[in-house]
Amino acid sequence: MATICVPLRVHRPEELIGAIDVAARNGNLVEVRADYLSEPEAALPVVRDLPDELQCRVILTMRTPEQGGQLPHSEDVRRAFWSRASQLPNVLFDVELDLLQKQSELSFDLDRVICSHHDFTRVPEDVVEIYQRMAATQARIMKIAVQANDATDCLSIFKLLGRAHDDNRELIAIAMGHRGLMTRVLGPSRGSILTYGSLDDESPTAPGQITATDLRNLFRIDSIDSATQITGLIGNPVSHSLSPHIHNAAFAAAGLNAVFVPIEVDEAVAFLRTMVRPDSREIDWSLSGLSVTAPHKSTVISELNWIDAAAREIGAVNTIVVDGDELHGHNTDAVGFIKPLKQRHEPLADLRCAVVGAGGAARAAIWALKQGGADVTVFARDKTKAEFLSKTFGVKYQQLLPRSFAGYDLLVNATPLGTRGNRENESAVTAEQLRGVRLAYDLVYNPSETRFLRAAHAAGCETIGGLEMLIAQAVAQFKLWTGKQPNVDVMRAAATRQLRIE
């Protein structure tokens, strides 16, 4: 099993005993953050009086604000705390590198010390030198936590773990922030002696820290090893995506040693070259493929060795498969879009369709509809994009939405309006405009009941939600990566369950 440490954000000493008990049931270790207490030494008798089996599962930590501490305790307070804390018999001590180097009068049992260093702004250029300075302290365990400003920053963490393995040293290494998530999930399988998981979404103690429950249940961290086939989603943002829930549930149901990780990427080309392409990547991992979302669906094409006809004609790739030494690109959005229509036995030939939007989702929808012989009109405010779609796919376009779409058989919302978050209460069209449309299809899947769909119901339209397209395209991706048919019911149940939670 992977070792998960659950850190505590407790501000009152009397709450510590109950919090430690709950955290110990969620993880293998509990980090007691004394810097969250106005009187840090109040944590010491609580820890001292715990049952022995709990004491040996506690890490005591007392951070400075520069190293992520909650309260600005003075040097004297820190020194007094550690002078008393170091006498406790069974706990581990997380002591910052600068203090461990300066405070020679503190008699730590170095076999129980985690020598740590944090940088909440970047991966420092001298991170290897910092590692060497930590190793020189003779602390048994070292911890380096740095901020990942792009997914490629995770490389430094994985390389440090490789170095620690070669040096036969125990290291905890983490890239913080959303862009460092893969180090929290994959770190233990690559040599990190533990990873951190919060009790819940409201109590992380560092940027990008996810819950212990998600580490165990969503990512199945206890099953991840060096042979685990890695897949993931690259885009920006990716935190809203249901794909990790869908694919990880499907992997588990199929009994596959595989994991799907969301990867927030700014520079897609740099990421593919340093971490994905077999001929140039700087990491040795069992990467099977990637899902690609906005804004990278077109950008990634330049780095691929081969793309399928649909992706080439659409001009967008949403699925990458690592095939030997090559990267192959596919577009499963088009298949995913058209499948719900086919399941309704909707005849596409001469179907009068309106597509609102001009992004990657719109391109896939237009291509799929045209392949079936539909009559398509694109509605987009960006004239340049609309004209491009018109010329590329041979469709009509209009910049302004009409007062009424009456007469159209199908209206597709291919804009992000209505997506959970800042634009959740927006809709591309109103109920008044939808009156007379037979079928309204929203490509937004989160939330499941968007404002667009509510307007469509009010207008008397039949409707299709974006979840059906999401599941259909995910099924096609799963087949490409594994060669197997997934359990579609498991996929849908995982997505629906997460939508209810959100």
The residues that are catalytic are 297
Sorted by sequence, the CB contacts under 8 Å of residue 152 that are 6+ apart come out as: 267, 270, 271, 274, 275
Asked if 432 contacts 404 with a C-beta cutoff of 8 angstroms, the reply is yes
Measure the CA–CA gap between 161 and 140, rounded to whole angstroms: 15
Q: Could you tell me the CA-to-CA distances from 342 to 146, 162, 357, 371 in Å, in that order?
A: 49, 50, 22, 13
Burial class (CB in 10 A: 0-12, 13-18, 19+), 181: buried
Number of Cβ within 10 Å of residue 107's Cβ equals 11
For 399, which DSSP code?
S
Quick one: angle between helices 243-254 and 488-501, nearest 10? 140
Sorted by sequence, the CB contacts under 8 Å of residue 485 that are 6+ apart come out as: 475, 478, 479
Give the phi and the psi of residue 318 in degrees, each rounded to 5. Answer: -115, 0
Asked if 72 contacts 65 with a C-beta cutoff of 8 angstroms, the reply is yes
